[in-house]
Amino acid sequence: MVQPIYILEGDEAFLIEQFYQQIAPDSALDSEYEVISMDLEEDSIEAMLNEADSYSFFASKRLITVHHGAILSSQTSLKMSDTDKERLNTYFNNPNPSSVVIFHHGTSKIDGRKKLTKVAKKQGYVVDVTSPDESKVKQYLQQYLANQNFQLSAHLVDSLLVRVSYSLTQAIEELKKLQLYALSGNEIDEATLTQLVPRTMESDIFKLTNALSAKKYSEAIQIYEDLILLKHEPIAIFGLIISQFRVMLQSYILQRQGYQPSDIAKLLNIHPYRVQIALQNARHISLSSLKTFYDYLAEIDFKLKTGVGMPDNHFYLLITQLHQLYQ
């Protein structure tokens, strides 16, 4: 049953698209709904509520999309008078059954103390469309593949996720591209995926970290220099390298404490594939050396942020330090 009010908390485009398809499929839009778009950065609360209270002359219902609709947040630029708040509260308790009002709340934190929030949650108006954790993204992809009757090996799905930095929306878009390619009778393999799916900075850092861990220093230098040529900031590059080695260090410690890789993934809130690769990389170095190297990375990060030394020199010294620890 379609409710009269929805508040979309989050900004994951794929989940938002799925939500709209559930409440108003494309086939129903023209025949059942008069579609209206509003923006609370341009339109007033009063104007929006007047639209919501009105009835359509052209369709059985009105579908009102309200952009920048962070009405439940205390950390927003949205200005609301006491009158606006009271009118919203009144409407939430007695909405027009002929209107479906969808507030795009975005990533602004919902304030549970607000009276309006309590009403919204009690009525079940809040819908979670936040970007899923890494561990859940693969589930969405597997479900999408099953629905589309499109087969892709688990290894290729993992490679795709790394390449799109575990972005659900981007992963779905790339799957659609691969699906079209496969419909032409082409085989999808690792080389095809690499060719069709564009690189991201995060996926390059993942490869760089793996190269460093495997002592493939020439490959690591080439990836670093490619990132610099692509105008990525050294501070950002080092920040992501630190993040990858942090996962390696945390996974290493938790495994020694008896945790299984699946449990580590849940504890760290990351995709199991990242834990698997982190543990593989950690086999090449002792825990004490890994801790030493992580401390060294943090020191370089601090120097970069305070403008000490040349970024390229720091990277080459980093490789020297890691090589010495592997001896």
Please report the pLDDT score of residue 27 as a whole number.
55
- 236: CB partners within 8 A, 6+ apart: 201
Are 42 and 97 contained in the same domain?
yes
User: 3-state class of 187 per DSSP?
Assistant: coil
Please report the pLDDT score of residue 276 as a whole number.
85
Task: Evaluate whether 94 touches 229 at the Cβ level (below 8 Å).
Answer: no
Are 241 and 183 contained in the same domain?
no
Count structural domains, the chain.
3
**The domain boundary residue, chosen from 95, 128, 161:** 128
Domain hosting 146: range is 134-196
54/229 Cα distance (integer angstroms): 56
What's the Cα-to-Cα distance from 294 to each of 21, 62, 312, 324, rounded to whole Å? 46, 56, 18, 14
Q: Provide the 8-state DSSP code for 66.
A: E
Number of helices and strands in the chain (H, E): 16, 5
Give me the residues paired with residue 6 across strands: 102
What pTM value is reported for the model?
A: 0.74
Are 24 and 117 contained in the same domain?
yes
Are 124 and 39 contained in the same domain?
yes
Please report the pLDDT score of residue 131 as a whole number.
86
Task: Report the amino acid identity of residue 222.
Answer: Q
- CATH code, 216: 1.20.272.10
Please report the pLDDT score of residue 133 as a whole number.
82
User: 3-state class of 34 per DSSP?
Assistant: strand
User: 3-state class of 275 per DSSP?
Assistant: helix
Are 190 and 215 contained in the same domain?
no
- CATH code, 12: 3.40.50.300
Chain-centroid distance, C-alpha 223: 24
**The domain boundary residue, chosen from 181, 196, 211:** 196
Please report the pLDDT score of residue 256 as a whole number.
92
Please report the pLDDT score of residue 71 as a whole number.
92
Are 60 and 102 contained in the same domain?
yes
Are 124 and 140 contained in the same domain?
no
Tens of pLDDT, residues 12-22: 999 999 999 88
Please report the pLDDT score of residue 135 as a whole number.
76
**Which pair of structure tokens corresponds to residue 91?**
């409407």
Please report the pLDDT score of residue 90 as a whole number.
94
Task: Evaluate whether 117 touches 71 at the Cβ level (below 8 Å).
Answer: no
59 CB-contact burial (10 Å; exposed 0-12 / middle 13-18 / buried 19+): middle
**The domain boundary residue, chosen from 99, 128, 157:** 128
Tens of pLDDT, residues 45-94: 999 999 999 998 888 889 999 999 999 988 777 888 899 999 999 999 99
HSE-CB for 181 with a 13 A CA cutoff: 17
**H-helix or E-strand containing 323?**
helix 311-326
- For the chain, the straight-line distance linking the first and the last C-alpha, in angstroms and rounded, comes to 65
- Which ranges of the chain have pLDDT less than 50? none
Could you write out the DSSP letters of every residue in 83-134?
HHHHHHHHHHHS--TTEEEEEEEETSPB-TTSHHHHHHHHHT-EEE-PPPPH
Please report the pLDDT score of residue 327 as a whole number.
63
**Which pair of structure tokens corresponds to residue 43?**
């339109």
Are 143 and 234 contained in the same domain?
no
Are 228 and 268 contained in the same domain?
yes
**Which pair of structure tokens corresponds to residue 303?**
């120097």
- Main-chain phi, psi angles of 202, to 5 degrees: -65, -40
Composition of the chain by helix, strand, coil, percent to 5: 60, 10, 30
User: 3-state class of 18 per DSSP?
Assistant: helix
Please report the pLDDT score of residue 318 as a whole number.
86
